[in-house]
Amino acid sequence: MAFEQERLTEAELARLKDLARSARGDIITMTRVAGSGHPGGSLSSLEIYLVVFSCADFSGKVRDRVVVSHGHTSPGVYASLARLGHLPVEEVTAFFRKAGSPYEGHVVRGIPFIDWSTGNLGQGLSAACGLALAGRVKKQGFHVYALMSDGEQAKGQVAEARRFAVKYGLSNVTVVIDWNGIQISGATDMVMPVNIIEDYLADGWDVIEIDGHDPAEIYRALRSARASQKPTCLAAHTIIGKGIPFMEGKAEYHGRALNEREMGEAVAALGIEDRTGYFREKRKGRWEWQPSPREDRPAIEAGDPFTYADEDKVDNRTAFGKALKDLGEKNIPGGRPICVLDCDLASSVKSTDFARAFPDHFFQGGVQEHNAATVAGALSSLGVVSFFADFGAFGMDETYNQQRLNDINRTNLKLVLTHLGLDVGPDGKTHQCIDYVGLARGLYHFKSIVPADPNQVDRAVRFVAAARGNFLIGTGRSQWPVIRKEGGELFYADGYRFVYGLMDVIREGTDGAIIAYGGMVERALRIRGALSTRGLTLMVVNMACVTEVDGKVMERVRQLPFVFTYEDHNPETGIGLPIAAWLLDHGFRGRMGRFGVREYGASGDTDEILKVERLDVESMVGAIREMMSS
């Protein structure tokens, strides 16, 4: 068990002192060999890294977790881990910041004991909270360390995470702040004064001030924090550039490597040899160490689908809520954890039934979307299937960069966005999310699904719960009619199985095709109906997987003379352009029309707004007829 002994022994302290000296040499050498990097903060964080990496509990299967929030201090991380025997010393020094190597400029998951890829300051404490929640949900008593810089304490997301940790009593989280008082532009007190201690205390944390270069003191404080009933912050006073006299206290060494003269002076101060030449030569070769791949794929029971007809009066977000609760019932009692994060919109995004049934698996994050998005991502990274359900404007627009970092971390997040498109109605332009398809397209490992009716929602939700990786499920606000086959049978019920990436031909047609998703599919069917009375038959295609162009269906679409995309989304970032590109690449010779939202929408009923944007059924019938007859 970690931190059992009351204090570090003299022998242990002597060893740490010795390792620190070697690691300082590694830090200045690797940054000089790479020609860039951040030696200043690496030197000030070094003793913190050495004590945490050598004293926390990394022995068993259920090991402690670490988030290095100021990921640019990667040289300090690599050097400490290497000197403690967890990474090859020569490789980290030679291949730091070499394209393709694991030793990136900002730390990434896969490095031993590094549980979150960072680089965007201020997100690390939220990630630590997510990992800590995973420990609680899985009943694993591990501790989580969030190692941070002082400059990033200014970020608002840190305050959000502090409150979240207090609300959920995450006493298994310890923050250590490398308080060196210097950031890129100079003294933190000049750049942006932050009352660090007052802020942590005001939000209900314990604070312990320590000398961040004294391993004995660091150990004692970490031990005390581990025993505390509150989340605890160690405010560790440090010196930027510590250990190399001319670097100490200087902002200029925050982010630049030493030059030759400085290097000579530095190795002399440390009493070591300058091995820059050796490592420069070695850098031309290839590294051997590779991170081992991670697989936290929880085996989720998807359950049997629910089927709805119009008379059930179930809108898509409610269908999500019902599937969610069913998934909880099928899995949580059996120890297959599913969790839900909310930002004060549970009743609108329909996660309340789940919350009532599984209060220990439901986390109310308040109006703190940045924190909640990161918590959900980090939670999902430890084998807990995590749903983060929010209005599109908040769950994606507001938190885009948090979702991007989740994506970089290859999390297992299920992001449910409701009230998408113009269907948020009278809440108006700030709440209309008419850009999410484009945003999702920029996230390489997100798969996105905007189902057309509650039956498809139910099947898609069960699919994503059981599948590995990041998924986006989108719904509107209103109830839309269920989609039926020509003969009247439910399209997305018996015999239908959700397969990611497929387009569905809802109706055949010979005069053109209209491609839509979500609430526009049913409108497309009405447009088809209106046009058919004038002798025109349109194929209607549901492109629920909004970032995937299904070549098989498109091959049929391509042979028609007209193709229309129809979305309550900005047509410049929605499905219109990728469909156009596919058609261009495949020799389409007909004409294409891309219909979408051309200006931030008005505040009013959905149908009224659609009319203002000329996307209502009547306007569309007119526009399509005009195109087809011109």
Residues 362-381 that bind a second copy (CB under 8 A): 364-371
Nearest alpha-carbon partner for 471 in 403, 517, 520, 419: 403
Q: Where does this chain touch a second copy (CB under 8 A) — which range of 3-11, 438-446, 495-503, 526-534?
A: 438-446
**Amino acid (one-letter) located at 256:** R
Site for a second copy (CB under 8 A): which residue of 342, 453, 458, 616?
342
Q: Which of residues 388-407 bind a second copy (CB under 8 A)?
A: 393-394, 397-401, 404-405, 407
Tokens of 263: 């290097």
Site for a second copy (CB under 8 A): which residue of 64, 160, 326, 522?
160
Q: Which of residues 494-553 bind a second copy (CB under 8 A)?
A: 547
Q: Which residues contact 426 (CB under 8 A, 6 or more apart)?
A: 603, 604, 605
Select 91 or 458, whichever has its Cβ closest to a second copy: 91
Output the smallest distance, CB 146 to a second copy, in A. Answer: 16
Q: Does 458 bind a second copy (CB under 8 A)?
A: no
Site for a second copy (CB under 8 A): which residue of 129, 173, 235, 346?
346
Q: What is the 3-state secondary structure (H, E, C) of 172-210?
A: CEEEEEEECCEECCEEHHHHCCCCHHHHHHHCCCEEEEE
Contact 603, 424 (CB under 8 A): no
> What are the two backbone dihedrals, phi and then psi, of residue 448, each rounded to the nearest 5 degrees?
-120, 135
Select 72 or 459, whichever has its Cβ closest to a second copy: 72
Measured CA to CA in angstroms, residue 409 lies from 91, 147, 300, 569, 578 at distances of 23, 18, 21, 28, 26
Residues 343, 188: Cα–Cα separation, whole Å: 32
Based on C-alpha coordinates, what's the Rg of the chain? 28
Site for a second copy (CB under 8 A): which residue of 5, 17, 18, 36?
36
**Amino acid (one-letter) located at 31:** T
Residues 44, 183: Cα–Cα separation, whole Å: 12
Residue reference for tokens 């139910």? 458
Q: Does 202 bind a second copy (CB under 8 A)?
A: yes
Q: Does 198 bind a second copy (CB under 8 A)?
A: yes
Q: Where does this chain touch a second copy (CB under 8 A) — which range of 41-49, 303-311, 312-320, 596-604?
A: 596-604
Output the smallest distance, CB 394 to a second copy, in A. Answer: 8
Window 105-144: contact mask with a second copy (x via CB under 8 A): xx-x--------xxxxxx----------------------
Output the smallest distance, CB 269 to a second copy, in A. Answer: 26
Give the strand pairing for 173-179 and 232-237. Answer: parallel
Q: Does 419 bind a second copy (CB under 8 A)?
A: no
Select 98 or 220, whichever has its Cβ closest to a second copy: 98
Site for a second copy (CB under 8 A): which residue of 294, 600, 622, 626?
600
Q: Hey, which residues does 386 pair with through a beta bridge? A: 339, 413
Q: Which of residues 604-623 bind a second copy (CB under 8 A)?
A: 604-605, 608-609, 611-612
Q: Does 425 bind a second copy (CB under 8 A)?
A: yes
Q: Which residues contact 517 (CB under 8 A, 6 or more apart)?
A: 450, 452, 542, 543, 544, 546, 567, 575
Select 37 or 215, whichever has its Cβ closest to a second copy: 37
Q: Does 44 bind a second copy (CB under 8 A)?
A: no
Q: Does 2 bind a second copy (CB under 8 A)?
A: no
Contact 500, 513 (CB under 8 A): no
Q: Which of residues 79-108 bind a second copy (CB under 8 A)?
A: 97-101, 103-106, 108
Q: Where does this chain touch a second copy (CB under 8 A) — which range of 237-245, 479-487, 551-559, 568-576?
A: 568-576
Tokens of 481: 């009619």
Q: Does 34 bind a second copy (CB under 8 A)?
A: yes
Output the smallest distance, CB 132 to a second copy, in A. Answer: 17
Site for a second copy (CB under 8 A): which residue of 199, 262, 312, 353?
199
Burial of residue 278 (number of CB atoms within 10 Å: 0-12, 13-18, 19+): middle
